[in-house]
Chains A and B, each alone.
Chain A
Amino acid sequence: MSQDLVNIEINGIPLQARKGAMLIEVADEAGIKIPRFCYHKKLSVAANCRMCLVEVEKAPKPLPACATPVMDGMKAFTQSPKALAAQKGTMEFLLINHPLDCPICDQGGECELQDVAMGYGEDVSRYSEAKRVVKDKDIGPLIATEMTRCIHCTRCVRFGEEIAGIRELGATGRGEFMQIGTYIEKSVSSEMSGNVIDLCPVGALTAKPSRYTARPWELVQHATVAPHDSIGSNLFLHTREGRVMRAVPRDNESVNETWISDRDRFSYTGLYADDRLTTPMVKDNGKWVATDWETALARTVEGLKGTAASEIGALLSPHATLEELYLAQKLLRGLGVSAIDHRLRQVDFAHGNADPAFPYLGLPIADLENVNAALLVASNVRKEQPIAAHRLRKAGLKGASLMAINTRDYGFAFPVMAQCITDPHGMVGVLAGVAGAALEAAGAKAPASLAKIIDAAEIDEAARAMAEQLKAGEQAVVLLGSQAFAHPRFSLLRALAAVVAEHTGATLGYLPEAANSAGAWLAGAVPHRGPAGERLGSPGLDAQAMLDKPRQAYVLLGVEPDLDCADGVRAREAIEGANFVVSLNAFASEATRNLADVLLPIATFAETSGTFVNAEGRWQSFQGVTRPLGEARPAWKVLRVLGNMAGLNGFEHVSSENVRDELKGLFGADLAFDTGVPLEGAAFETATVPTGLQRAGGVAIYALDSLVRRARPLQETADGRQAGAYISEAQARALDLLNTDRVLVRQNGRTATLDLVIDDGVAMGCVWIPAGMPETAALGAAFGPVELQKL
């Protein structure tokens, strides 16, 4: 027996336990039930509810199992008369102030208090005096409160402090007057706030969007995977009569632990949006007519075959499944089309030979919490990949040096050791400085292709400190964030990051934007790579080029060009001019209707089986949880039929698993999880220093994809309403804008009117404007010179 184990007995069952473990953990592992409210395996021990009292031999009084460390030879009894009496007593006290009206409570049927009361409560209350009443609070569009039901377990409070990293809920007052709330009228702002709904053992905090819409026992639970960020959090969707009613987390220690982001939890509310496409449609003389699948598919094949393959461009969503992307590229390549891309928000495609097989995180997601140092480059990780931010936060709390180079101080919920906030152009210089510092410390020379850039960079104290921290960290990572992918000099940022990583001994990793960004690469949804990373001799046009050189026909898979593309305005203009456009989408927005000639209604992630590959390269397959709405069909089936109708071979799949396995079979043994960036080849050009104000920004958290954009409760949060032009106070003063609340933004000849927001976190010389939002879409590209004019 190792020294770290002790022998104990619970209810006469001999058990081995880790020294220092709490009795309740050991009991849980052994499947011995102890009632509890305040204890939660992921939160600190508060021991304030006393529900877990058990008898321990030689202890004069019952002890709380959640706060009693095991000791060698300890004998505990969870069901002895003494233990039961203590538990019953606690229950009776808890119920004194708790309403006994479970039938009208949303938590009824899945309430820990109700369950435990069934086991330990009396059927009649001895308490007939007045109960405490607490006023409900409005804490935003996601969480409903009924604070009279609160039992003060403080799980929600500890969640804010320990997990979310922003303390918004608290316990004010004391004794009889203690209340859980925000004290002042305030919406909670954490992007992980919904987790308190699961944590709350009673009906005090419930999900506002699904409140009173179903009883737990009417719901059927289905396992699936979240379709938004590149973490791929594991979910359960709950359906009633074939309709998705809500989403809750599914434990997976390697991915999301027991948490999910609010985006993953509430985006289901967009599934049944008003513009959901439920029947195939074709445009006849400029008029939309509903039709059957056969007609719509025939029209599609005709449209594609009637256009020279070299004149067809395909924009595929990185939120589509692996199977859909694989079949789409197979169909298109079968027709001779080579302009295939999913990198809709990328603008710099130079040095494509340096692209990895897929944008790999560089390490398993779970290992993010063990890094000693991390440098985030152009990433708002907190809003873009909330679970990754949570893992990094754990590392930070253990002392890791977390650093960032960004255009705005995003207010990360983890301790930031060092950060450089500068305009988009300046970011390149700063990173080059860090690369220079790393080379200097390693006594190495800059690779020829980067020499000009690195030599010109200023190596200041901050750059040296960053390089030093990365070098000192036994496990260090340099992470390229979603905003790096969208940066006009992505390839240069990547090359510099690679130099930094190489000479500090850090790992280079990517935090790609979408649920299946990684899968899209592996499926071959890029113009220069086929499935399984196969390098193609003659690459086709990339996402940018096929819009710069407008094609005669476009295939859109799950894409809303106006909001999903780097420059939505230019995308629209290019696609508008095409002779034939087919859109496979679950939704048909006004903009899509204007662009397309054929609309093919496809299933959402909840209605199809498929696979998403997350940033750590984990293939996560899932089943559809409900039938597609109306006439909609899973896209892989639609694509298979299109393949057959186009007369192509190899479209005989009978299930999405078939498709997945066909792709899997193409991988050789040598597909490396490699993020090395070859740096030989043409030298990187130095950019001319831009003059005037620069636009900076990233995709707003609730604007990422067509589903979340339709999730109304999320749109009503502060994050959903963040459209605006953000500048620092000094910048506003310099521009004489301190006395206006609206500004006219001019970018590249286009304009938009936006709220002016003063945020001192924004770099001087920058206007930070979120992308992907209807309010800002008219401006086009996410980067470039802008002007602000007082309104």
Chain B
Amino acid sequence: MPKIQTVHKAALLNDHLREEIDDWLRRYPEDQRQSAVLGALRAVQHEHGYLSTEMMDAVAEYIGMPEIAVYEVASFYSMFELKPVGRHTIAVCTNISCMLRGSDKIVEHIENKLGIKTGESTPDGKFYIKREEECLAACCGAPMMQVDHVYYEHLTPERVDEILDGLE
């Protein structure tokens, strides 16, 4: 195989992703295409579970921004995963209100239950505990956690079992 100098990296984006990114692009002026990068990365993560370098490069080419600029955005926001993770993402808030209401215990309980530490995924690829989650603006229901896109408040170890056991 010859060395390929011009690679069409955006080819990795399927029609659905293109549609979604185009939708974001339409919301911004033509000379501000990079504004769509957050939406684009979110769409990719939704589809692939995480952001591989190849997919970030694809987004970069599609939107027309430097690859490194996409890496900067992706690595800045903790909502983006840069490595493959478990199917369900568990994010327990450990910021001040939740901490005062016992979030440490909740984290410990989840770690023991799943046999992994924060920042790790279960070997069966079902669960992933985020390393550290800051205030998710649900302090009145502290302690709280977010599983995938859903908020759960007033947590107790029993409630956590119930929630996690109920997941596919």
Contact = CB atoms under 8 A, between A and B. Distances in A.
Interface of A: 161, 166-174, 182-184, 724, 726, 729, 732, 737-741, 755-761
B72 A758 contact: no
Which one of B2, B5, B66, B76 has the greatest number of beta carbons of chain A within 10 Å?
B2
A757 B75 contact: no
Interface of B: 1-6, 53, 66, 68-69, 71-72, 75-76
Nearest to B76: A174
B71 A756 contact: no
Contact of B3 (A161, A184, A757): A757
Contact of B6 (A172, A729, A739, A741): A729
Given A184-B53, A732-B2, 10 more contacts: A167-B68, A168-B68, A170-B69, A170-B72, A173-B75, A173-B76, A174-B76, A738-B1, A757-B3, A761-B6
Nearest to B56: A183
Give chain A's interface secondary structure class: loop
B66 A166 contact: yes
A172 B5 contact: no
B38 to A, nearest CB: 15
16 contacts: A168-B66, A170-B66, A170-B71, A172-B72, A174-B75, A183-B71, A184-B53, A726-B5, A755-B3, A757-B3, A757-B5, A758-B3, A759-B5, A759-B6, A761-B5, A761-B6
B2 A738 contact: yes
Which one of B5, B71, B75 has the greatest number of beta carbons of chain A within 10 Å?
B5
Can you list the 6 inter-chain pairs with the closest CB atoms, starting with the nearest? A170-B68, A167-B66, A756-B2, A759-B5, A183-B71, A172-B75
B3 to A, nearest CB: 5
A760 to B, nearest CB: 4
Contact of B2 (A169, A172, A182, A740): A740
Contacts of A172: 68, 71-72, 75-76
Contacts of B68: 167-170, 172, 182-183
A169 B72 CA distance: 10
A758 B71 contact: no
Contact of A758 (B4, B53, B76): B4
Nearest to A161: B66
B66 A758 contact: no
Contacts of A741: 1-3
A737 B4 CA distance: 12
Contact of B75 (A161, A183, A758, A760): A183
A758 B69 contact: no
A234 to B, nearest CB: 31
Nearest to B72: A170
Nearest to A184: B53
Nearest to B2: A756
A579 to B, nearest CB: 46
B82 to A, nearest CB: 9
Which one of A168, A170, A171, A184 has the greatest number of beta carbons of chain B within 10 Å?
A170
A757 B2 contact: yes
A759 B69 CA distance: 24
A724 B72 contact: no
Nearest to B65: A167
A172 B68 CA distance: 8
A743 to B, nearest CB: 8
A295 to B, nearest CB: 51
Contacts of A161: 66
A761 B6 CA distance: 8
A221 to B, nearest CB: 34
A757 B5 CA distance: 7
A157 to B, nearest CB: 9
A231 B133 CA distance: 55
Nearest to B75: A172
Nearest to A732: B2
A174 B75 CA distance: 7
B57 to A, nearest CB: 9
Contacts of A724: 3
B165 to A, nearest CB: 34
Nearest to B4: A758
A726 B6 CA distance: 11
Nearest to B57: A184
A419 to B, nearest CB: 15
Nearest to B73: A172
B6 A756 contact: no
B46 to A, nearest CB: 22
Contacts of B6: 729, 758-761
A44 to B, nearest CB: 15
A324 B69 CA distance: 49
B137 to A, nearest CB: 19
A16 to B, nearest CB: 38
Nearest to A761: B6
Contacts of B5: 726, 757-761
